[in-house]
Every structure is written in C-alpha cells, then in structure tokens.
Amino acid sequence: MNLTERDSRHLWHPYTQHKTSKPPIAIIKGEGALLWDENNKEYIDAIASWWVNPFGHSNKFIADAIYKQLTTLEHVLFGGFTHEPAVVLAEKLIEILPKNQQKLFFSDNGSTAVEVAIKVALQFFYNKGEKRTTIIAFENAFHGDTFAAMAASGISCFTEAFQGMLIDVIRIPVPIKGQMQDSLNALAEAIQNNNCAGFIFEPLVQGAAGMVMYESVGLDKLIRICHENKVLTIADEVMTGFGKTGRTFATDYLNEKPDMMCLSKALTGGTIPMAITTFTQDVYDAFYDEDIYKALFHGHTFTANPTGCAAALASLSLLQTEEMQANIIRVNKSHLGFQKHIEHHPAVVTTRVLGVIFALEIKTESSESYYGSLRNKLYDFFIENGIILRPIGNIVYILPPYIITDDQLRKVYEVIEKALKTV
Ligand SMILES: *Cc1c(COP(=O)(O)O)cnc(C)c1O
C-alpha cells in the first residue's frame, strides 16, 4: 500500500467531504518553492502551503535554529515561568509592530489568536462593569474555525451547521469601491443600536473570501469611528502579516492603529504552529487589578513554546534581510506584469494585486460556490500541471513563497493562462 492508501484507513482531512473528494497527494519532500510526491512528481507550491511559508520548504537556517533550541530547552510551561526565546521575540516584535502595541499573548494557531482577541474585547468591558456583548465583522470575513472565530466569520459553508449557537455578530459591508459609505453607515448604526465590544477585520485583504482587496482610507475611517465610540478594534493579520502585502503588516498602510492584532501563519516561517495576539497598554490595564477574577483566564498548554519562539526569531531575521525584502518587491513586480498581460483576457472579469498576492476572477454564467464544480475542474487542472493552487469559487489566486524563482512564477502564470482556455 502506498501512503495515500494507508492515509484513507485512519485519517480525516480538513474541509474535506471524503465520500466525493479525490484521495490526498502524499508529499515526501520539499525544497524552496517545490514539493515532491511519493511518485516523484514535482509541484510548485504557489500558495505557500496555505499562506504559511515565505522562505521556502525545509529552510536550513530555521531548521538549525529549531535544532539548537530543541537541544537547549525544548519546552517549559509558561504559567509562572519564562524563557529567553519568548522575551527576545517579544522585544523584536514590539520593534516592528505599530507603536501602540505593547503586550503579547501567545497561542497556537490563527483561530486561537482570534479567540483570545474576542474574549479580551468582551472581558475588557465586563471588567469595567459595562455590558457589551456584540462583535462587529465584515461580510464574507474569515477568522478561523473555533467558536468565537467562527461566529465572526461570514462564509456560510464554514458556519452553517452552527447558526444559533454563536456569539452575536453584526456584519457590515467591506469598504470596497462603491461601498465605502454603506460600510461607514452600517458601522455607525451597529454601534448606535447594540452593545458593541469590538470590531474585527482582515486589514486590506480578505484572504479566504478570495483575496478581496480594499483600500486603507475606508478602513482608517471605520477604525476612527470605533475609537471615537470606544469600540475595540482587532486587526486579524493572520494571513496578511510578515510581508504579504508588501509591508511588514497590512496595518502599516493605516494611519489609525488597531487596539489588538492577531498573528500566526508566517510567524514561524511555516515550521511550527504558533500564534500571538498583541494589545495596547490600555487593553492590558483593564485586566491589571488586585482582583484575580479580572485576569485573563485563558491559556494553552504549549503557550510560548521555546522551539516555536526560536523558529519565529529565525523567520523574523530572514524577513528583515535585504535579500528577502528584494524578493517581495520582485514577486510584486512580476505579478503586476502578469496582471497587465492577462487583465483584458475574455475569460477574466477582474484582477488584483497587493504585495505578493495576485488574484483573478474568471467569468462564469452563474455564481460559483466556494467548493463548486468550476473550482474543482481548475484545481485538478493545476495539479495535473504540477502547480498547487486552490481556487476559491471562480477566483484563482497566487500567494507564493517569497523565494519562488522567476522561472517558477512564469510557469505558474502560463498554466493559469492555459486553464483560462480550458474552462
Ligand atoms: C487562516 C486564518 C485564520 C485561522 O488560522 P488557523 O491557523 O487556520 O486557525 C484566521 N484569520 C485569518 C485572516 C486567516 O487567514
């Protein structure tokens, strides 16, 4: 039996209907932007393995840092204890985060980073004796799959089965072109009529919605309204963080800074699961009290795992090299070239580019569902051609490791163009 066959006996995969989907591809090796399966077929990982891997697979520099940490102090509990990798990582992150971010809380993945932010927003007001129980979020948002994160998410296939069991969320339109005033009005109305504790958003790019992009002016205005009404703002930078938008954080494009930020995905260069929620001093101070019940009673066993912190420190230093910054600019320029070439193609509705992210919407007769038949046809076509891309409905996007070569990028573009002919 090969790995794929053995897998099917015991394993249950994410976002997968096992009765109708094809068996998974068994990957045995990765290097740079490339992956190889058990039949030695080569793939270009054009989505950085779900947006986590900026520096390439099996990166030696991060691997060495992990090995060194594993053989010095692999793990220690973070309740009542601390360690150098966590302290140094906090210092380094504070240097590059928006100036108002002063406190860091560790968890394990993007959903828990969001879960912590939402719980903190709710308890912030509870601690102050104010009843605020509603969260504001964008239409078609994605913030993760745990309960509060799922409540904030607006993509129905992820949340349908749990309607009626989720915290109260008011959804407002995204301030894309033509919708800015609607978005501002909806926010003002939500704040007026409800006990809103927080507003959570994916800054500038809604990843799982299909790389939907909107400009910083709208978001600045929304955040300002929240600041004026003392509604806490949460920038979910789980996808956008660490260079994807062309700046270290999407929040760097804003004038108004959020009260909290959620980080994960590329934090450890795609090596070890880890997440961080960051806070202003003001948020932290609402929990700082003689009263133990005002503390944040949240934690995970592997909180601030030293090995994860070492991986994150190695990743940060890679991100900050001139070479990596040049890679981000190179990929962006390459995308802009492809955009020019493809935007008037008869099968293309629209294209968009920000940083290393490229997205293209394909013309369809009827609206295409998230995991619809066009999407599956495209996915299969890309896999046949040795490219890992996961279209979302009729949207094809590229979010490659920053170190992807020009030749590899060219191949990705060529296969996408070929796919437009076949659909
Ligand atoms: C992926 C993602 C999450 C969830 O992260 P997980 O690690 O999958 O739990 C949350 N928010 C955004 C914006 C994401 O892209």
How would you write 218-242 as a 3-class SS string? Answer: HHHHHHHHHHHCCCEEEEECCCCCC
CA–centroid distance, 106 to ligand 1, in Å, is 15
pLDDT of residue 372: 74
pLDDT of residue 406: 98
Distance between CA atoms of 222 and 214, rounded to whole angstroms? 13
The 10s digit of each residue's pLDDT in 16-39 is 999 999 999 999 999 999 999 999
pLDDT of residue 370: 66
User: For ligand 1, is residue 108 a contact (CB within 6 Å)?
Assistant: no
Q: What is the pTM of this model?
A: 0.97
Closest approach atom of ligand 1 to CA 149: 10
**Alpha helices, DSSP H, located in 231-321:** 281-285, 306-319
CA–centroid distance, 274 to ligand 1, in Å, is 12
- C-alpha dist (Å) from residue 28 to 161, 167, 219: 35, 41, 42
CA–centroid distance, 51 to ligand 1, in Å, is 10
Residues of the chain with pLDDT under 70: 367-371
CA–centroid distance, 301 to ligand 1, in Å, is 20
User: For ligand 1, is residue 203 a contact (CB within 6 Å)?
Assistant: no
Closest approach atom of ligand 1 to CA 240: 13
**Alpha helices, DSSP H, located in 59-179:** 60-70, 84-96, 110-127, 147-152, 156-159
User: For ligand 1, is residue 114 a contact (CB within 6 Å)?
Assistant: yes
Spatial CA neighbour of 146 closest among 120, 127, 171, 165:
165
User: For ligand 1, is residue 138 a contact (CB within 6 Å)?
Assistant: no
